[in-house]
Structures are given as C-alpha cells and as structure tokens.
Amino acid sequence: MRINKYIAQSGLCSRRKADEYIEQGRVKVNGKVITMLGFEIRTKDKVTLDDKLIRSDKLEYYKFYKPTGYITTKSDEKGRKTIYDILPEEYKRLNPVGRLDKDSSGLIILTNDGNLAYELTHPSIKVAKTYIVKVEGKLTDEKLKKLSDGIEIEKGKIAYCDWTILEETKTDTLFEIILYQGLNRQIRKMFEFLGHNVINLKRIRHANIELTGLKKGQIKPIKPRQIKELKLYLEKIRNSKNA
C-alpha cells in the first residue's frame, strides 16, 4: 500500500495532508525518513509521524445535520462558533468531509477515514452534492443558461451546476442544485453574480448519503450497506475516468 493511503486510512488526516507531511520529512518508516510520495509499505513496517507511531483505528462514518450559525472546522481563529461546539464529545475526534458556510445548513459527513474523505472532496473526482436553495426573484432563461454553462465567480474559476426549479412565486424561486465542484461559497457567488440573493441554502445529499431522518443538530451512524454503496459509487466514477 502507498504510504499516503496508509496514513489516511489510519484516520489521522486526509491523503492530501499526508502528502504534505511526507514532503516535509516528518514521516519515517522503520526509523528512516521517507520523502517519496509513492513509497510502498509492507504489513510489518512501522510508520511514524513526528516519531509517533501511526496505528490503524476502526473506521467510523456518521452523518450530521449542521444548523445555520456554525462553521465547519475544528477551531476558528476569529472566535466563531464551530460544529464542534455542539457535537457530543465522543464525536469530536472525527473530521468533516467538505464544508458548509456559516449561513448554510444540512448534511455533513463525519469520519476518521481520511482516504474516503479525500476521494469525496478531490476536485478531479467530481462527486455530486445536492442542495435545496431558495433565492430572491425569478431568473430569466438567459440567467438559467448561465448556471449550466458556467460563471466566472473568481478570476480563472468557472462555476457551473445542474439545476431544477421546484417552485416559483412572485417574490422567490426554489431550486434543487447539484454541484460537482467544491469552490468556496460557490452557489451563493453564482446567484449573486446573476443579481439574486440566496435566502436559504441546505445540503440534502452527498453522493448517495442523504440528510433524511435527521433533525437539526442531530448525528447518526451511516449504515455499513450505505458505505459499501458509497465506495462502489466512487469506484464507478474512477473507472469511467480511466475508460
């Protein structure tokens, strides 16, 4: 197994972060510093980070309904409230898969499986994330086309989405939005560019994992069958890219 994958599967960090630790010379195998990212380790090898032995933990998977008013990080230098302020103590060792901004709510996957987190969030894999979004006003056909074709929300960053209108009133529009990217505040920036403020934004699905059955602030384990289906889903995406 490649060393970065081994570190990620221990639950210590993501595979991307493991690469950083390796490049920084902080990882050793059997007492020797390893800086080659593709280094293959054997079952009996002892891997350390900063001279602390890395052990494999039991992998855990949960889904959490993030309320608005909290950011998705373990700590914040600005002193804002984070999801770890409301999570029970036994779940604070887990890491969030991706983020939702302070004003957004909905599904967050929490896990100590760094390898799975890497695959779910890496931009090259393009895992679907589904949101219910309420915006001010109605969008013209021209603006709706721009949502699909792409909008430059930042220099060199083109954001796009799949969309379905669920409901329209005289004052606002309710959308189902599917993203395959993970740009910062992507949905809000797209609608702001088009001149429409987002009133409410909630993530309801990440890959095959759904928010269904959760109340705000509640956390539940993801069933093993769903994790198996999730890994098969990711495998299909990888295979389609290699075809």
How far apart (Å, rounded) are the C-alpha atoms in residues 16 and 39? 15
How far apart (Å, rounded) are the C-alpha atoms in residues 62 and 72? 15
DSSP track, 170-219: SSEEEEEEEES---TTHHHHHHHHTT--EEEEEEEEETTEE-TT--TT-E
DSSP track, 18-78: HHHHHHTT-EEETTEE---TT-B--TT--EEETTEE--PPPP-EEEEEEPTT-BSSS--TT
Catalogue the active-site residues: 101
How far apart (Å, rounded) are the C-alpha atoms in residues 45 and 3? 10
147 by Cβ neighbours in 10 Å (0-12 / 13-18 / 19+) ranks as buried
